[in-house]
Structure formats: C-alpha cells, structure tokens
C-alpha cells in the first residue's frame, strides 16, 4: 500500500446541497421492493442458475411477498429468453406481480426483449446506459451529447414497439448506469431527455432508477445525490425514484437507508446481497431493519431459514454465518456475559414486564423470523455443529468448511450422545482425526510426484490398496486434478472434486497444513476427506484418499 495514497486516489467531491433535509427525516413506511436476484444476482454467479433453479427461486420470492421481480436479461441468452416465456406461457406469474426485464439501448436487444414479454400481464421494461465520466471516456469515447443520444434512441425504440404488448400493463424504467459516479447535472439532463420520449404523468409514472453502480463515496454523498435529483428534476410527481446500491465499500445498506431518507420511493436488491464484486444490497437486512423499528416491511421472512435453504440450493452461494439476520450464528452467544444478559432479558420478556422488545444483544425476537437463540460455548449432546466448529477452531485452529460442518456435526453429536456428558475440545479433535485424518484404508499413498508441461500438470503416483500397490498416472490443470484423473484411470470408481480448502495449522518452521476435500461420485454421493502434511500439495492428495476411504 502507498504511504501517501493521495498521490494516486482522490476523495469524491461533495454535492452542493446547503439546505439538505434528509438528515432530519425519519422513515415511517416501507419502500416498493424489487428483487433482482434472478438477473443481477444470477449474472454474478460462477455457474448461473438453470431454468429449474430460477423457477424455484422465483416462487420463493413470490411467497416472500415481492410484487416486482427482475427476472432476467432475455436478450442475453436462450436460457434467459426461455425462462421468460415459461413464466408467461405456463401462467406462473401471479396477477399482482410485475416482472421486470433489463435491456441495453440497442435496437436488436430491445426487439428480442419485447418479443420475450408478449402475453405477460404486468411488466417493467428497464432500459439503461452508462453515464459516468470514466465510462464515457474509457468505454465509449463519446461526449455527453452523444451519450444522451444513445439513451434517447433506446427510449424511442422501446416506445415504437409498445403496440406489440397490447393488453399488457407496461411500466417503463430508465437507469443512468453508474449514476453515483456521474455529475448530478448530467444525470438530470439525460434522465429528462428520456422523460421527453416516454412522457410520464402522475397517473402513469415511469421509474427513474439511480444506481450506486460502484460505491465511490460515503453513503451521505449518495443521499445528497438522491435529494438533489428529487429536488431539481422536472416533473418529480411523475416519477418513482428507485435505488440500486451495490456494496463495494461495504455500505450498501447504509446507502439505501439514507437514500430513502433523501426521497427515494423504491429499492432494488437481492436476498442476502448476491451480486458482482462485493455484492448488492441485502434486501433481507433492510426489510428487517425497518421491522425492528416497528415498520411493516411488506415482506414475509417469518421462515427465513427456509428462504436461506432455497437461496443456497439455487445459487450455490452460502450465507456467511455472521450475515445480519440470516447467518447461522447471529442469534448465538459464545460469550458467558452475553449469555447471562440475554437469558435475563428473555426471562423479563416472558414475564411480560416490557411492552416493547428490549433484550440485550438481540435486536429482534429470533422467533419472529423462525429462528431460535442458542448458547454455544460448551459442547454436549444438545450442542449443534456451530459449537463443535467453534471449539475446534478456537482451540486448535481447525477451520472446518461450512459444508463439512454439516457432515461432521451429526457424527460428533452421535458420539457425544453415547458418552452422555460434556466433551472437551481435545476429545472433539480426536473424533475429527479418527473420522478423517486417520482414514488410511483401503487406499493409502505411497509416493506422489508431479511435472509441469504446457500449462498442464502430470502426476505419477504409487498407491496401496488392501495390501497391494499399483502405479497410476494422470494429467490435469493442477496436482489434485491430475491425481483424480490418475485414480479414475487406475480403477477407482469415477468421482470428481466439488470443494477444496486448506490452511496452516501452526506457525514457524514446523508448520503443517491441513486440507479439506469434498468429492462427488457418479451416483451423486458426497463425502469429505481431510489430511495433514508439512507439504500442502501432499495434504490435499491424502485428503482425496481420505474422502474415498469414507465412501465405505
């Protein structure tokens, strides 16, 4: 890092708003919510959702109460287009739900997008083009007037095709993408140019979405930008001002809450904050922040655990254990003093001594969202996998991956249950070592060597199986991949590695590494393995064999 970052970076300039009103306002009602999980959240996934996964997540969003759902970018791929058509043709969209689609200001893409919407009852067509100085200079090489021309042409192309959606309630939305990095005067000018084409009225409003596409300033600056637009734009009464706040600075929630104070009407975001780079606004957090202040958010998260399960299954993403409201450990106290305060507060609440919720360390009643308060500092037969993982990491530095916790937790719990008493960290380590590290039969490693060539890794290994040894060799993108191919070619039933992580267990010259490997077999079975070695490459290879040995 630079000793003087000012030689390379500069602060974002403040907005000239001497009579700002948002700092003195208080939120009193929920905004219009729009989930963009199926588009913005989806395009940020390493493996985008297929149609079946998108359908399941769409149905979950509907059950949560979302009335506006951005379902995709139908001109981007056949999968996106097919998903739109399936929703419409199979009548999967409730009458009170409006689907939203995104499109760039290009005529061919707009044509395809309109085609995808034929037969829908209620839609939002979301047009965007980038407007910031960096985008104008680096990406487009165009002047402000030329950027305005792009937006106006796109708006006209949409307007000219609306007759093809006869019988459909169409709402139009425009986003000056990278709004927060754009001069507010220019954002106003280009937005009003689009308004001149679409001609919104108080009875037929258009959505003006003002995205914090990349967080470039503190949230108060974004709030100033929103209030400036709300104060200065023409025909404000004909607009629904919408927010879309990614999380580059880690302040997406704050930017949204201040943007609402500044006059916005609508919020776009995703469940648990899925999105590119550091993610989008977490809609669950903002909704439940309103809830904890006594405001009905208009969304139903009374069974947040099942929402999280669907989200993780469909997206392949995991909700971090400390994620606000939804994380596995947010209603868990490890500290003895915290546990004592929470116990006393819950007892007071149960006795009816308080009218309003005021339990130390618990911002809301976990039961309101289908959760429970847990103490996890000791481990006995009543403890969950979180306590097991906590003790192993706290005492021995063993950082079990979350998916692996789900596998080892019940195994440890069964052993503890048979003992019928509290167990110590060292006993849990012995259980883990016996279950994973000491799984040396029927397969074990005798020798392992690799060579790199033309971007590929070739391995030669000798493995023992039930008292006999055999030579295997294979090639892959790395040592693990090469070893998997070698085993598959050497007679081991086919499998693939689905998860891998590793870390050091001790510091200094005698440091050893531990590797965790999850494999998936052809019949869909999943098993974890683990191994330790001074050489991290050998630890990962041994972990593969540990997982194979645990298949039974």
Average pLDDT score over the chain: 92
Neighbours of 19 (CB within 10 A): 6
The DSSP line for 392-404 is HHHHH-----HHH
- Of 205, 198, 211, the C-alpha closest to 238 is 205
Mean pLDDT value of segment 91-97: 97
Close Cβ partners of 467 (under 8 Å, ≥ 6 residues apart):
none
Neighbours of 36 (CB within 10 A): 26
Q: Cα Rg for the chain, rounded, in angstroms?
A: 28
Q: pLDDT class for 522, splitting at 50, 70, 90? A: confident
Residue 199 has pLDDT above 80, yes or no: yes
Residue 488 has pLDDT above 60, yes or no: yes
Per-residue model confidence (pLDDT) at position 386: 61
Which H, E and C letters describe 403-421, residue by residue?
A: HHHHHHHHHHHHHHHHHCC
Residue 510 has pLDDT above 70, yes or no: no
**SS3 label, residue 518:** strand
Per-residue model confidence (pLDDT) at position 509: 58
Q: Angle at CA 50, nearest 5°, toward 84 and 243? A: 60
Counting Cβ atoms within 10 Å, is residue 508 exposed (0-12), middle (13-18) or buried (19+)?
exposed
Residue 270 has pLDDT above 50, yes or no: yes
Q: pLDDT class for 325, splitting at 50, 70, 90? A: very high
Residue 511 has which token pair? 């440091």
Fold of 332-435: Helix Hairpins (1.10.287)
Q: pLDDT class for 336, splitting at 50, 70, 90? A: low
**SS3 label, residue 429:** helix
Residue 280 has which token pair? 């989008």
Q: Angle at CA 49, nearest 5°, toward 155 and 214? A: 50
The Cα 429–Cα 426 span in angstroms is: 5
- In the block, tokens 């003093």 appear at 337
Give the distance from CA 343 to its chain's centroid: 33
Residue 444 has pLDDT above 70, yes or no: yes
32 or 417, greater pLDDT: 32
Mean pLDDT value of segment 368-386: 66
User: Percent of the chain at pLDDT above 90?
Assistant: 79
Mean pLDDT value of segment 62-67: 98
- In the block, tokens 């907005």 appear at 15
Per-residue model confidence (pLDDT) at position 380: 56
Backbone angles phi, psi at 539, to 5 degrees: -60, -40
Q: pLDDT class for 332, splitting at 50, 70, 90? A: confident
Residue 328 has which token pair? 């596995």
Per-residue model confidence (pLDDT) at position 452: 86
The Cα 66–Cα 57 span in angstroms is: 12
193 or 47, greater pLDDT: 193
Mean pLDDT value of segment 295-302: 98
The Cα 72–Cα 88 span in angstroms is: 13
The Cα 547–Cα 551 span in angstroms is: 7
> Tell me: domain 29-315, CATH 3.20.20.70, correct?
yes
Tally the C-alpha atoms within 13 A of residue 92's C-alpha that lie toward its C-beta: 22
Give the distance from CA 72 to its chain's centroid: 16
The DSSP line for 217-270 is S-HHHHHHHHHHHHHHSTTGGGEEEEEE---TTS-HHHHHHHHHHTT--EEEEB
Which one-letter DSSP state was computed for residue 22? G
Q: pLDDT class for 283, splitting at 50, 70, 90? A: very high
pLDDT in tens, 341-352: 888 888 899 899
Residues 15, 224: contact at Cβ < 8 Å?
yes
- In the block, tokens 């590494």 appear at 513
Per-residue model confidence (pLDDT) at position 391: 75
Residue 143 has pLDDT above 50, yes or no: yes
Sign of CA dihedral 349, 295, 42, 259: negative
Per-residue model confidence (pLDDT) at position 389: 76
Mean pLDDT value of segment 393-416: 87
The Cα 552–Cα 539 span in angstroms is: 21
CATH superfamily name and code, 443-549: Alpha-isopropylmalate synthase LeuA, regulatory domain (3.30.160.270)
pLDDT in tens, 100-113: 999 999 999 999 99
Residue 67 has which token pair? 């009335």
Per-residue model confidence (pLDDT) at position 421: 79
- Out of 29-38, 77-86, 484-493, the most confident range is 29-38
Residue 376 has pLDDT above 60, yes or no: no
Q: pLDDT class for 265, splitting at 50, 70, 90? A: very high
Per-residue model confidence (pLDDT) at position 132: 94
Helical (H) or strand (E) element with 497: strand 495-504
Residue 180 has pLDDT above 50, yes or no: yes
Q: Angle at CA 215, nearest 5°, toward 209 and 217? A: 110
The residues spanned by each domain of the chain are: 29-315, 332-435, 443-549
509 or 355, greater pLDDT: 355
Neighbours of 249 (CB within 10 A): 16
Mean pLDDT value of segment 285-303: 97
Residues in the chain: 552
Give the distance from CA 513 to its chain's centroid: 29
Per-residue model confidence (pLDDT) at position 385: 60
pLDDT in tens, 216-252: 999 999 999 999 999 999 999 999 999 999 999 999 9
Q: Angle at CA 328, nearest 5°, toward 31 and 416? A: 160
Q: pLDDT class for 455, splitting at 50, 70, 90? A: confident
Q: How far is CA 19 from CA 88, 174, 188, 233, 265, in A?
A: 48, 28, 19, 16, 21
Per-residue model confidence (pLDDT) at position 377: 45
């Amino acid at each position: 890092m630079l000793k003087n970052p000012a030689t390379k970076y500069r602060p974002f300039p403040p907005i000239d708003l001497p009579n700002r009103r948002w700092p003195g306002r208080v939120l009193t009602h929920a905004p219009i919510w729009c989930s963009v999980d199926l588009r913005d959240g989806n395009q940020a996934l390493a493996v985008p959702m297929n149609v079946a996964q998108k359908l399941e997540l769409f149905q979950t969003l509907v059950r949560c109460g979302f009335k506006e759902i951005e379902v995709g970018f139908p001109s981007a791929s056949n999968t996106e287009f097919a998903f739109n058509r399936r929703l419409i043709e199979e009548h999967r969209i409730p009458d009170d739900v409006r689907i939203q689609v995104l499109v760039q200001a290009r005529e061919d893409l707009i044509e395809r997008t309109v085609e995808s919407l034929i037969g829908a009852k209620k839609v939002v067509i979301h047009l965007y083009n980038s407007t910031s100085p960096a985008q104008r200079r680096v990406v487009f090489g165009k002047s402000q007037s030329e950027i305005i021309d792009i937006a106006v042409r796109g708006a006209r192309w949409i307007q000219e095709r609306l007759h093809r959606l006869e019988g459909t309630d169409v709402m139009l939305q425009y986003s000056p993408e990278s709004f927060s990095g754009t001069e507010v005067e220019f954002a106003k000018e280009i937005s009003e140019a689009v308004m001149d084409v679409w001609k919104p009225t108080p009875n037929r409003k258009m959505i003006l979405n003002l995205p914090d596409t990349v967080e470039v300033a503190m949230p108060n600056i974004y709030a100033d930008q929103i209030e400036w637009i709300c104060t200065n734009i023409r025909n404000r009464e004909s607009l629904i001002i919408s927010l879309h706040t990614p999380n580059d600075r880690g302040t997406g929630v704050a930017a949204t809450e201040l943007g609402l104070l500044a006059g916005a009407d609508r919020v776009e975001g995703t469940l648990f904050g899925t999105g590119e780079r550091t993610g989008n606004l977490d809609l669950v957090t903002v909704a439940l922040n309103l809830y904890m202040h006594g405001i009905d958010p208009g969304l139903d998260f009374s069974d947040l655990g099942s929402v999280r399960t669907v989200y993780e299954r469909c997206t392949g993403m995991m909700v971090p254990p400390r994620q606000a409201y939804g994380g596995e450990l947010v209603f868990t106290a490890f500290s003895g003093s915290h546990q004592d305060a929470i116990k006393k507060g819950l007892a007071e609440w149960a006795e009816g001594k308080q009218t309003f919720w005021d339990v130390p360390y618990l911002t809301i009643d976990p039961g309101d969202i289908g959760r429970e308060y847990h103490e996890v500092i000791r481990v006995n037969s009543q403890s969950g996998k979180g306590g097991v993982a906590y003790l192993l990491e706290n005492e021995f530095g063993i950082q079990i991956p979350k998916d692996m916790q789900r596998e080892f937790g019940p195994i440890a719990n069964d052993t503890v249950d048979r003992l019928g008493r509290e167990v110590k960290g060292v006993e849990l380590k012995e259980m883990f070592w016996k279950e994973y590290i000491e799984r040396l039969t029927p397969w074990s490693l005798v020798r392992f060597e690799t060579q790199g060539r033309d971007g590929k890794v070739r391995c030669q290994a000798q493995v023992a199986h039930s008292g006999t040894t055999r030579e295997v060799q294979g090639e892959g993108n790395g040592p693990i991949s090469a070893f998997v191919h070698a085993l598959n070619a050497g007679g081991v039933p086919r499998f693939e590695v689905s998860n891998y992580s590793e870390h050091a267990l001790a510091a200094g010259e005698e440091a050893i590494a531990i590797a965790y490997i999850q494999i998936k077999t052809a019949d869909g079975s999943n098993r974890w393995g683990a191994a330790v070695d001074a050489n991290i490459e050998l630890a990962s290879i041994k972990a593969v064999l540990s997982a194979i040995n645990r298949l039974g």
